[in-house]
């Protein structure tokens, strides 16, 4: 039995159960049953959160890095302790299998640890002086100011943790608006930071209508940094708004990751890794491999073995069955998007090899789906599906594979599988993406930057970059008195 918490917002250090703007319903995507009513923040409550973040900013920014580090490390430990319970809530809210939810939560604790360490390490630098009259030139990274953080539902602990830890480690106060469908995950995470000792006002949490909250916070003069993860269309809107106030902006947006599979790749291992990664979180992952470009000599075999792996996956309600491999999509809108895409199949758009529809019954389910032979200009190969759908295309030479891989405006992740060293170097340098992984799929580790180029956004989170993104550069230059 999962204990779903009573939903509350956090404004200026007070947990608030009543939103001034009514409530919204949170439901289980596997059953469509209501889980809870969630308070929606009012404009006045948002103003109070902005005022609290502004007041807390100098206090938190003035707290020594070593102390911020200790508090954040404690938050990470609390998150680890509570991970099994939080993972159950995550499965209820987004439907992902328990093992994936647990892995995400424990991984988020590691992320917080890494970013917390940066609060101790980032000391700036001394620059040699040019004139004899100068005593010192020091360059430091200063916290930008109050940060507004907007996160989606697909990784409801990892994504808020990345943003909160980066902001708090750097000394920024913050207001988090999580996705409408995953408030409890965000709340349980924020509780860890609060209980670890983040002072009142330095961390705030608000639920409600995304467009209303983002516009309110981005246009509030006191908010100085905006970080958003979500779709490219919304990212562009928020970026334009942030630019009006010359606010620092980080955006992790959509992707349509290519996977180039060469003839020399370890075939069985590659097929298994591709199927496991493609259908993780029902394909609702910004770095999900989506466009499989396979050397013609192994194409037919790859299609049939990949489809066999896909059709063997058990789909169902992971909140009551731990043996489920793939849960539902996050909401009905995602299922409708998959059905719309399937409506265009056939001919140039590709053929359905397995899947292609929703099973009977309640819940936002869609079968693991494999499409063979879509043209590189088909809908599937050009529009991000953000669901359990994979397109597989044959290529004749490696340059053709790279041309297809690089043909979109997206540039988040790209992958390749090959045992040929020359090919591996060529692919590593010629695939156009913020992150390229060769012979594996793990692009998201605490120590390395995570981010895209082109329509996939800009700026990076996690790694040192995840800390520096909440800072701005300051020079202090000192001359001898009287010179
Ligand atoms: P959606 O655009 O309605 O919502 C996606 C997320 O963005 C939600 O969490 C929502 O709260 C937030 N959002 C929407 N409008 C916003 C606004 N004006 N201000 C602030 N936040 C806002 O789409 P959806 O159908 O729920 O999700 C599918 C699309 O979202 C996909 O195309 C995918 O690219 C994108 N997405 C990307 C990521 C990612 O990790 N980059 C994660 C989730 C969704």
The DSSP string of 195-240 is HHTPPBTTEEE--S-HHHHHHHHHHSTT--EEEEES-HHHHHHHHH
**Known catalytic membership, residue 351:** no
What is the 61 CA–ligand 1 centroid distance (Å)?
31
Distance CA 363, CA 263 (A): 40
CA 285 to ligand 1: nearest atom: 40
**411 has which bridge partners?**
453
Strands 453-454 and 410-411: antiparallel
Low-confidence stretches of the chain (pLDDT < 70) are 1
From the list 172, 274, 286, 309, the catalytic residue is 286
Neighbouring residues of 227: CB distance < 8 A, sequence distance ≥ 6: 147, 148, 149, 150, 163, 166, 167, 249, 250, 251, 459, 461, 469
H helix intervals, 97-255: 98-121, 158-170, 183-196, 210-219, 232-244
In eight-state DSSP terms, residue 367 is -
> Residue 251: what pLDDT?
97
Neighbouring residues of 449: CB distance < 8 A, sequence distance ≥ 6: 434, 435, 460, 461, 462, 463, 464, 465, 466
What is the 231 CA–ligand 1 centroid distance (Å)?
5
Distance CA 101, CA 94 (A): 9
CA 254 to ligand 1: nearest atom: 34
Please indicate whether the domains covering 9-253+456-475 and 257-446 agree at the CATH topology level: no
Distance CA 70, CA 329 (A): 38
Note whether 452 and 255 are within 8 A (CB).
Answer: yes
Q: Which residue has a Cα nearest atom 32 of ligand 1? A: 231
From the list 252, 384, 423, 461, the catalytic residue is 252
> Residue 2: what pLDDT?
77
Distance CA 171, CA 149 (A): 15
Identify which of 161, 215, 231, 288 to mutate to test ligand 1's pocket (most ligand atoms within 8 A of the CB): 231
Q: Which residue has a Cα nearest atom 31 of ligand 1? A: 231
> Residue 280: what pLDDT?
95
Domain extents in the chain: 9-253+456-475, 257-446
Whether domain 9-253+456-475 has CATH 3.40.605.10: the reply is yes
Closest to 334 in 3D by CA, of 325, 342, 323, 324: 342
Question: 65-94 vs 158-170: helix axis angle to the nearest 10?
Answer: 170
pLDDT in tens, 335-374: 999 999 999 898 999 999 999 999 989 999 999 999 999 9
Can you read off the two tokens belonging to residue 441? 């799929």
> Residue 45: what pLDDT?
98
Distance CA 220, CA 49 (A): 11
253 in contact with ligand 1, CB cutoff 6 A:
yes
Can you read off the two tokens belonging to residue 95? 């439907």
Phi then psi dihedrals of residue 459, to 5 deg: 85, 160
Distance CA 31, CA 316 (A): 10
Distance CA 369, CA 365 (A): 12
What is the 362 CA–ligand 1 centroid distance (Å)?
24
In eight-state DSSP terms, residue 359 is P
> Residue 344: what pLDDT?
87
257-446 falls under which CATH superfamily? Answer: Aldehyde Dehydrogenase; Chain A, domain 2 (3.40.309.10)
Can you read off the two tokens belonging to residue 208? 């409600």
Q: What is the pTM of this model?
A: 0.96
In eight-state DSSP terms, residue 86 is H
**Known catalytic membership, residue 286:** yes
> Residue 483: what pLDDT?
76
Q: In 132-161, which positions are buried (b, 16+ CB within 10 angstroms) versus exposed (e)?
A: eeeeebeeebebbbbbbbbbbbbbbbbbbb
CA distances from 140 to 62, 389, 468 (A): 14, 46, 11
End-to-end CA distance of the chain: 73
Q: What share of the chain is helix, strand, coil (3-state, %, to 5)?
A: 40, 20, 35
> Residue 101: what pLDDT?
97
Note whether 148 and 173 are within 8 A (CB).
Answer: no
> Residue 54: what pLDDT?
98
């Amino acid at each position: 039995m999962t204990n779903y918490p009573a939903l509350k917002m956090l404004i200026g250090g007070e947990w608030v159960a009543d939103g001034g703007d009514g409530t919204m319903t949170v439901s289980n995507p596997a059953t469509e049953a209501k889980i809870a009513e969630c308070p929606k923040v009012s404009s006045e409550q948002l103003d109070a959160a902005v005022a609290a973040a502004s007041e807390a900013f100098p206090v938190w920014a003035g707290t020594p890095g070593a102390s911020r580090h200790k508090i954040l490390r404690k938050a990470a430990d609390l998150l680890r302790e509570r991970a099994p319970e939080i993972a159950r809530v995550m499965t209820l809210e987004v439907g992902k299998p328990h093992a994936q939810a647990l892995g995400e939560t424990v991984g988020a604790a590691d992320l917080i640890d890494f970013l917390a360490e940066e609060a101790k390490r980032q000391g700036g630098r001394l620059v040699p002086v040019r004139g004899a009259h100068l005593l010192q030139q020091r360059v430091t990274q200063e916290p930008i100011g109050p940060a507004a953080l907007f996160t989606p539902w697909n990784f409801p602990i990892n994504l808020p943790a990345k943003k909160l830890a980066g902001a708090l480690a750097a000394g920024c106060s913050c207001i988090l608006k999580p996705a409408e469908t995953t408030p409890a995950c965000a709340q349980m995470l924020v509780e860890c930071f609060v209980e670890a000792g983040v002072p009142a006002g330095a961390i705030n949490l608000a639920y409600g209508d995304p467009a209303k909250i983002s516009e309110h916070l981005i246009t509030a003069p006191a908010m100085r940094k905006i970080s958003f993860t979500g779709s490219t269309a919304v990212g562009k809107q928020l970026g334009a708004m942030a630019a009006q106030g010359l606010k620092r902006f980080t955006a992790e947006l959509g992707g349509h990751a290519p996977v180039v599979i060469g003839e020399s790749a370890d075939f069985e291992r590659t097929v298994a890794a591709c199927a496991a990664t493609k259908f993780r979180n029902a394909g609702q992952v910004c770095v999900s491999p989506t466009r499989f470009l396979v050397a013609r000599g192994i194409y037919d075999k790859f299609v049939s073995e990949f489809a066999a792996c896909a059709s063997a996956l058990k789909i169902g309600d992971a909140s009551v069955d731990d043996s489920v491999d793939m849960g539902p999509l996050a909401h009905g809108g995602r299922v409708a998007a998959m059905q719309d895409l399937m409506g265009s199949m056939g001919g140039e758009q590709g053929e359905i090899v397995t899947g292609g529809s929703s099973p009977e019954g309640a819940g936002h389910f869609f079968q693991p789906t494999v499409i063979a032979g879509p043209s590189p200009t088909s809908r599937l190969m050009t529009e991000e599906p953000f669901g359990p759908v994979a397109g597989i295309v044959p290529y004749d030479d490696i340059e053709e594979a790279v041309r297809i891989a690089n043909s979109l405006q997206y540039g988040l992740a790209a992958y390749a599988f090959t045992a040929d060293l020359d090919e591996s170097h060529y692919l590593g340098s010629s695939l156009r993406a913020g992150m390229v992984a060769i012979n594996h799929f793990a692009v998201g580790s605490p120590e390395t930057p995570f981010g895209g180029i082109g329509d996939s956004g800009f700026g990076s989170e996690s790694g040192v970059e995840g800390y520096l993104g909440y800072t701005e550069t300051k020079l202090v230059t000192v001359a001898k008195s009287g010179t």
